[in-house]
Amino acid sequence: MKDCIIIGTSPLALAEAAYLNNNGYNCLNIEGKSEIGGAWTTIKYEDFPEIEIGSHIWSYNKKTYLLIQNLFEIPLVKLDYQPKILFKNLLIPYDWKMNLLSIKSIYSNLFKFNFKFFKSIKTYPDIRFSILTSAYMYPKNGAIDIKNALETFIKKQELKIDLNKKVKSISISRESIEVLMFDGGKYYCSKHLILTSLSEIEQIILENGEEIKLPKKEIQYIHRHLLIKDNKKPKFNYIRCVSDKVIHRLSDMTSQVKNQLSKNEIVICVGIFQEQYEKMNTSEQEDYVMNFLKKQKLISKSATLIKSYSNTYPSFYNDSNLMKEIERKSNGKIKILRSTDFIYSFYNNYDKYSTLI
């Protein structure tokens, strides 16, 4: 029997396993996929360089950047062009959204008379006002760097990983927790269990026999990678599109695979809304994206599409209030790692994980 089972192999789940192992626990990470990393993974299309699966940006927190860089021994670089928000035809600093989110959060807690919030407001990384844009950072080669760093981290920390084990349900007894698989075969026993906000599980049976179903909010993240011939180097890194019906985000990924491209070739990753993706065929999507990029002057008018590929990555989000209830009713046997924002998740565990460095 393990002291603790952790569902998933995201950077956060692996850091938690390392912390517990270093504090005398015998942990096992169970992963439903065939590779580690959670959402921080790569994809290899035919005749296309291995590349990050989707368009990502990390939130800004200088202290946490340093923690992640030292913890996983992964070099982070300042983005050549800081992230932007595209509203209609106007590009504005991505960082300015923090002003709106901070005001919204303060306003909401003010009318809730949440005095605890205001006493500790300086400790919230997502309460931040920005006039000058912050220096956002990211691994130079994206998820390729993350994946390589995690593999090294697993070996260094001697973590135990079991892949291709998709969890169906969890049953809590007085003595242990049983973790049952979808294939109906092997199951695991442990004294404690750690879930994340993204853990995909059907139900949890509590010690008193109560069954809790986990209705999940499923989101299909669809991205199209385009290999484009253009004598103009893109002057953007990440753009969040808030007023387009088809495209919701863009990334220039050329630097991630630069040494594998021919002269004047660039790679742009485009996030496409699921509803529009299902309505449009491949040719329609390609035409729409190329026209959009040219209209916004993100590529030159003479740029031509060489080829493109798309992928779909499903994510499952659990209700935060339900997860808190499960944590409470498990009598300390289940712990929830909040993981909906990569940087803030590590920020909230800074004191713990910094002991590993």
- At 128, the pLDDT band (50, 70, 90 cuts) reads low
Give the separation between CA 146 and CA 153, rounded to whole angstroms.
Answer: 10
Q: Are residues 201 and 279 in the same domain?
A: no
Give the separation between CA 83 and CA 198, rounded to whole angstroms.
Answer: 25
- At 113, the pLDDT band (50, 70, 90 cuts) reads low
- The pLDDT of residue 175 is 87
Task: Round the average pLDDT of the chain to a whole number and report it.
Answer: 89
- Could you give the percent of the chain with pLDDT greater than 70? 89
Helices 11-21 and 143-157 sit at what angle, rounded to 10 degrees?
20
Q: Are residues 223 and 311 in the same domain?
A: yes
DSSP output for 129-145:
--SSPP--EEETTTHHH
If we measure between CA atoms, which residue out of 180, 184, 277, 175 comes closest to residue 222? 277
Kindly state whether residue 109 falls inside one of the protein's structural domains.
Answer: no
Helix (H) and strand (E) counts for the chain?
10, 20
Q: Are residues 211 and 288 in the same domain?
A: no
Q: Are residues 202 and 284 in the same domain?
A: no
In Å, how far from its chain's centre is CA 182? 24
Q: Domain range spanning residue 349?
A: 2-40+140-215+319-356
Give the separation between CA 177 and CA 192, rounded to whole angstroms.
Answer: 7
Give the CATH number for residue 191. 3.50.50.60
In Å, how far from its chain's centre is CA 188? 27
Would you say residue 306 has pLDDT above 80?
yes
In Å, how far from its chain's centre is CA 125? 17
The per-residue pLDDT for range 204-258, each reduced to its tens digit, is: 999 999 999 987 788 899 999 999 999 999 999 999 999 999 999 999 999 999 8
- At 301, the pLDDT band (50, 70, 90 cuts) reads very high
Kindly state whether residue 60 falls inside one of the protein's structural domains.
Answer: no
Q: Are residues 35 and 145 in the same domain?
A: yes
User: 268: which strand partners?
Assistant: 226, 252
The residue ranges of DSSP E strands in 49-99, in sequence order, are 51-52, 76-78, 84-87, 90-93
Give the CATH number for residue 231. 3.90.660.10
Kindly state whether residue 89 falls inside one of the protein's structural domains.
Answer: no
Q: Are residues 189 and 203 in the same domain?
A: yes
Length of the chain: 357
Q: Which residue has the tokens 């993350």?
A: 146
Q: Are residues 155 and 12 in the same domain?
A: yes
Kindly state whether residue 107 falls inside one of the protein's structural domains.
Answer: no
Q: Which residue has the tokens 């753009």?
A: 239
Contacts of residue 281, Cβ cutoff 8 Å, sequence gap at least 6? none
Q: Are residues 145 and 274 in the same domain?
A: no
Q: Enter the tokens of residue 342.
A: 């990569």
**Mapped to the 3 state alphabet, what secondary structure does 327-353 carry?**
HHHCCCCEEEECCCCHHHHHHCCHHHH
Amino acid at residue number 175 = E
pTM: 0.90
Would you say residue 117 has pLDDT above 60?
no
- At 102, the pLDDT band (50, 70, 90 cuts) reads low
- The pLDDT of residue 11 is 96
Q: Are residues 261 and 306 in the same domain?
A: yes
Q: Which run of H or E residues covers position 220?
A: strand 217-229
Would you say residue 120 has pLDDT above 60?
no
Would you say residue 290 has pLDDT above 90?
yes
Would you say residue 317 has pLDDT above 60?
yes
- The pLDDT of residue 222 is 97
Least confident piece of the model among 83-97, 146-160, 262-276, 278-292: 83-97
- Residue 107 gets which letter from DSSP? H
The per-residue pLDDT for range 52-86, each reduced to its tens digit, is: 999 999 999 999 999 999 999 999 999 999 999 99
Would you say residue 38 has pLDDT above 80?
yes
- At 88, the pLDDT band (50, 70, 90 cuts) reads confident
Least confident piece of the model among 19-33, 63-77, 121-135, 146-160: 121-135
Q: Enter the tokens of residue 130.
A: 């920005």
Q: Enter the tokens of residue 82.
A: 């800081």
The per-residue pLDDT for range 159-187, each reduced to its tens digit, is: 999 999 888 899 999 889 988 887 666 68
- The pLDDT of residue 258 is 85
Number of domains within the chain? 2
* More confident site: 154 or 48: 154
Average pLDDT (318-341) is: 89
- Residue 39 gets which letter from DSSP? T
177, 189 Cβ separation under 8 angstroms: yes
Q: Are residues 227 and 290 in the same domain?
A: yes
Q: Are residues 167 and 242 in the same domain?
A: no
- The pLDDT of residue 202 is 86
11, 40 Cβ separation under 8 angstroms: yes
Would you say residue 99 has pLDDT above 90?
no
Q: Are residues 157 and 204 in the same domain?
A: yes
